[in-house]
Amino acid sequence: MKNCSYIFARQSNGDQAKLFEGKHQLPFFWLMLLNNEDIETYRKKISNDAANPEDATMVLDKLQAIMRAAARRDYVKQHMITCLQLFDDWLYYLQISDFSDMKIYIDLFHIGSNYKNINEFCDSMLKAVFCFDEDIEAWNEETIAATCGYESRNNNTKLFSDFSKAYRELNNKNIYGRFDNKLHLNKKRSFRKKSWLIAVILLIIIALAVGVLRFVI
| Position with higher pLDDT, 42 vs 194 | 42
* Coil, strand or helix at 13: coil
- The mean pLDDT value for 107-134 works out to 92
CA distance 69 to 75: 10
Residue 182 has pLDDT above 80, yes or no: no
Average pLDDT over residues 5-33: 91
* pTM of the shown model: 0.77
Per-residue model confidence (pLDDT) at position 88: 97
pLDDT grade for 34, boundaries at 50, 70 and 90: very high
